[in-house]
Amino acid sequence: MSGQDEEPRPAAAQSPPWEPAEAPPWEVVVPAGAELGERPVWDPATGSLIWVDIHAGRLHRYRPGQGSDVVLELAADGHPVAVGAAAPRQGGGFVLAAADGFRLTGADGTPEAGPLPVPGLDGGIRFNDGACDPAGRFWAGTVANDVKPGAGALYRLDPDGTITTVLEGVTESNGLGWSPDGDILYYIDSGEREPRVRAFDYDPGTGRIGWEPYDLIAFPAGTAVPDGLAVDAEGCLWVAIWGGGEVRRYAPTGGLLATFPVPVSQPTCPGFGGPELSDLYLTTAWEGMDSQQRAAEPLAGNLLRTRPGTRGQPVPAFGG
pTM of the model: 0.92
Q: Which residues are identified as catalytic? A: 227
Dist CA 10 CA 8 (whole Å): 7
Q: Please name each of the domains of the chain with its CATH number.
A: 28-306 (2.120.10.30)
Predicted confidence (pLDDT) at residue 272 exceeds the cutoff of 50: yes
Predicted confidence (pLDDT) at residue 140 exceeds the cutoff of 80: yes
pLDDT in the model for residue 23: 67
295 secondary structure, DSSP code = H
CB atoms within 10 A of CB 315: 24
Residue 270: closest CA among 304, 315, 316: 304
pLDDT in tens, 98-137: 999 999 999 999 999 889 999 989 889 999 999 999 999 9
Dist CA 251 CA 155 (whole Å): 27
C-beta separation of 262 from 282 below 8 A: yes
